[in-house]
A and B are shown apart, each in its own frame.
Chain A
Amino acid sequence: MPSLGADMDEGVLLEWLVRPGQQVHKGDVVAVVETSKSTIEVECFDTGTVQHLLVEPGTTVPVGTPLAVIGTGPQATHPASAAPRRRRAPVPARPKTPGAVPHKAPAEARRPAPFAPDAARPPAPAPVAATGPLVRHLAHDRGIDLSAVHGTGPGGRITRTDVEHAAPAGRRIPASPLARRLAEELHVSLADVPGSGAHGVVRAADIRAAAEAAGTVTASAAAPAPVRPAPARRAADRATAMRHAIGALMARSKREIPHYYLSTTIDLAAALEWMHEHNRHSPVSERLVPAALLLKAAALAADQVPELNGFWTEDRFAPGSGVHLGVAVSLRGGGLVAPALHHADTLALPELMAALKDLVARARTGRLRGSETTDPTITVTNLGDQGVESVFGVIYPPQVALVGFGRVVERPFATGGLLGVRPVVTATLSADHRATDGAVGARYLTAVDHLLQKPEEL
């Protein structure tokens, strides 16, 4: 289960889009996952053959849980031949506890397989029932959900080894009670904090250090997620969960990021004149809206002022690779998401327009891709269509800047000593003072202004 955002610590596997035996390539959409924010298409991060699907649709699993096994490289085996080979997978060579327990494990593994005939077929996820009491006991002790464990024993049986291998995902991390409590309060994931105590126990000081290093723990610095009873969430629960997730993330932003704010009014006469001219000669499908110009200008300016395009992690700024413009999209049921327009600075305006339409449509139907939720390097919020003239946003951690555009309005405006009524927009910048100072932010807004004065070059 990939982390599809700084505020995610578990997800519901809604649907598999691939079958065992199917070839997949890096970037293919292989599954649909529901998070507290939206439904997201998970992209495959590797190329190979799907061997086993480990998680049944409808199951809620924590971030980090293996969802499927992909065989890579030339030796990738067909599941039918993999199963018998794996059946001989040895039981642990050195059991941890002496006594009666270790003797049971080999017995378990050697037991005649009731599902032996099935081995010829591509194996389905092992039924949870096909385990012995020892395995169930071990799984219970280690807090492992057996339905998420892949069985390598005869007929897909879950063996003791499988449970032991699954342990890291569900393993209880040794931590002092205070550290555990602080981790929850400070939204720090225990799994990401190296323990400085005896035997690697995580202690309060470790959590505080991790929380201070804030940006570092983004991937898993999750809000304390309420325990949700069933994967089939009602809309109201979903809205509540989303409110909670947004709340946790924004609170963290305001708690950790020293924001500074800049604002400027930009004359859009030239840009809109150019746009209208462009639209007059274009088919309806290729017509532009002012937002596209503003986004393009914001992306190009981020390329020119790279200090604002990236992330604050480990107490330092890490520049983004490319400008992936986060676009804040408000959802109909309430709440918002800010998925990425990848490489927005390199898209021609019609391409950007098309990508934007697609992105907004998918965000509203809840079909975003994983990379779109995690990649944004700088975010733009455009509240113009809501009628307000300016917006000072809250930075989306671990990004370091958020650009705001208000409504395009006609105002008396003086240029070159002449007063006229011109279309103007208020552009704002909220930026992380740890990463940049006001001068950098000013350079950014000035760059946006200059870009919008030469729309033909956008």
Chain B
Amino acid sequence: MGNGPAGEAKTTYREALREALREALDADERVFLMGEDVGRYGGCFGVSLGLLEEFGPKRIRDTPLSESAFVGAGIGAAMAGLRPIVEIMTVNFSLLALDQILNNAATVLHMSGGQFPVPLVIRMTTGAGRQLAAQHSHSLEGWYAHIPGIRVLAPATIEDARHMLAPALADPDPVLIFEHGTLYSASGDLDPAAGPVDLDTASVRRPGTDISLITYGGCLPKAMAAADTLAADGISAEVVDLRTLRPLDDATITGSVARTHRAVVVDEAWRSGSLAAEVSSRITEQVFYELDAPVERVCSAEVPIPYARQLEEAALPQAVDIVKAAHRAVD
């Protein structure tokens, strides 16, 4: 769980998340973290390493292996006035808590006639690329983005990892944060002047004129790499990082497509019924007459994510696939 090579980078995505947790715990005593192995072990992905020693067992709480129980406890704590941050090990296991998330967290405010907001933050790991096979590698954030009543975030950069938690905690409704497993060790500089992220806006990570690569989370680095390749081919690609999957920032998406007239939506989830489908659909609904080519999608193969490295790589969207899709749209 080390940092990058010493001295080369100021921080990592993992450290940025930890720093955000530390800041939140410092700033508000109602905030506490709970989940499987978040305390003594330091988190399954090392995000909360050292926080137990710093904040004590009342605020850094290890839980039994029962997602439904500890997410339900988080919902109750939030309704009772606390500001819980619940960590679920991976999105695959979050399905055990889906009843709590959908039927309670997302619904209680409505069912109580507005009496009980649920200011809960749930963090979890998503995505593939680390040879963890089909029970640890799926990208189900699109399912959560289907649910009204919650906000769904996907920080893809160190800056977003550092600065999305505070506004998420400030949101009176449940917020789900999806951290892509391949990003934890990403290293880079963090602008000390950066402040809280506006959770209502997507971000144009790279401006371009010929095509919009619309993506989020773990696919952002792949889209950026694809944009570099495309630039060498003479195609200027704009990269849009959705970063908030619900509610989607239609204005940024359609604004980009209105400039470039072509779009490739890149989503590590399965294609059928995916978030990519939603984004593509919104583009055709809202800026159909700006389109100069059909909207392309690059998604994962519709199989359980394989364990074998070459099979896993073949199943996932890769930069080369994004480049091909962009050429199909532009050439």
* Contacts from A to B (Cβ < 8 Å): 176-181, 197-198, 203-205
Residues of B close to A177: CB separation below 8 A: 288-292
A181–B289 Cα distance when bound, in Å, is: 6
Residues of A close to B261: CB separation below 8 A: 178, 204
Residues of A close to B292: CB separation below 8 A: 176-179, 203-205
CB distance from A380 to the nearest CB of B (A): 42
CB distance from A323 to the nearest CB of B (A): 44
A178–B261 Cα distance when bound, in Å, is: 8
* Cβ–Cβ contact B289 & A180, under 8 A: yes
B308 contacts the other chain (Cβ, under 8 Å)? Answer: no
Interface of A is mostly: helix
CB distance from B256 to the nearest CB of A (A): 14
B293 contacts the other chain (Cβ, under 8 Å)? Answer: yes
- Hey, what's the 0/1 contact readout for B315-331 against A, CB within 8 Å counting as 1? 00000000000001000
A205–B289 Cα distance when bound, in Å, is: 14
A198–B261 Cα distance when bound, in Å, is: 16
Q: How many residues of B contact A (CB 8 A)?
A: 8
Residues of B close to A179: CB separation below 8 A: 292
A203–B262 Cα distance when bound, in Å, is: 11
Residues of B close to A198: CB separation below 8 A: 328
8 closest A-B pairs (Cβ-Cβ)? Answer: A181-B289, A178-B292, A176-B292, A204-B292, A177-B291, A177-B289, A177-B288, A203-B292
CB distance from A177 to the nearest CB of B (A): 5
**Residues of B263-292 contacting chain A, CB below 8 A:** 288-292
Residues of B close to A197: CB separation below 8 A: 293
Q: Tell me the nearest residue of chain A to B289, going by C-beta.
A: A181
A178–B293 Cα distance when bound, in Å, is: 8
Q: Tell me the nearest residue of chain B to A184, going by C-beta.
A: B289
**Residues of B229-272 contacting chain A, CB below 8 A:** 261
CB distance from A211 to the nearest CB of B (A): 15
A177–B292 Cα distance when bound, in Å, is: 6
A214–B227 Cα distance when bound, in Å, is: 35
- Seed contacts A176-B292, A197-B293, A203-B293; 13 additional CB < 8 Å A-B pairs: A176-B291, A177-B288, A177-B290, A177-B291, A177-B292, A178-B261, A178-B291, A178-B292, A179-B292, A181-B289, A198-B328, A204-B292, A205-B292
A197–B292 Cα distance when bound, in Å, is: 10
Residues of B close to A203: CB separation below 8 A: 292-293
CB distance from A302 to the nearest CB of B (A): 43
CB distance from A17 to the nearest CB of B (A): 43
Residues of B close to A180: CB separation below 8 A: 289
CB distance from B285 to the nearest CB of A (A): 12
Residues of A close to B291: CB separation below 8 A: 176-178
CB distance from A315 to the nearest CB of B (A): 24
18 A-B residue pairings within 8 Å (CB atoms): A176-B292, A176-B293, A177-B289, A177-B290, A177-B292, A178-B289, A178-B290, A178-B291, A178-B292, A179-B292, A180-B289, A181-B289, A197-B293, A198-B328, A203-B292, A204-B261, A204-B292, A205-B292
Residues of A close to B290: CB separation below 8 A: 177-178
Residues of B close to A181: CB separation below 8 A: 289
Q: Tell me the nearest residue of chain B to A205, going by C-beta.
A: B292
CB distance from B258 to the nearest CB of A (A): 10
A179–B261 Cα distance when bound, in Å, is: 10
Residues of A close to B293: CB separation below 8 A: 176, 197, 203
A178–B328 Cα distance when bound, in Å, is: 17
Residues of B close to A205: CB separation below 8 A: 292
CB distance from B189 to the nearest CB of A (A): 39
Residues of A close to B288: CB separation below 8 A: 177
Residues of A close to B328: CB separation below 8 A: 198
Q: Tell me the nearest residue of chain B to A175, going by C-beta.
A: B292
Q: Tell me the nearest residue of chain A to B291, going by C-beta.
A: A177
CB distance from A188 to the nearest CB of B (A): 15
Interface centre among B261, B291, B292, B293 (most CB of A within 10 A): B292
A177–B285 Cα distance when bound, in Å, is: 12
A204–B290 Cα distance when bound, in Å, is: 9
CB distance from B284 to the nearest CB of A (A): 9
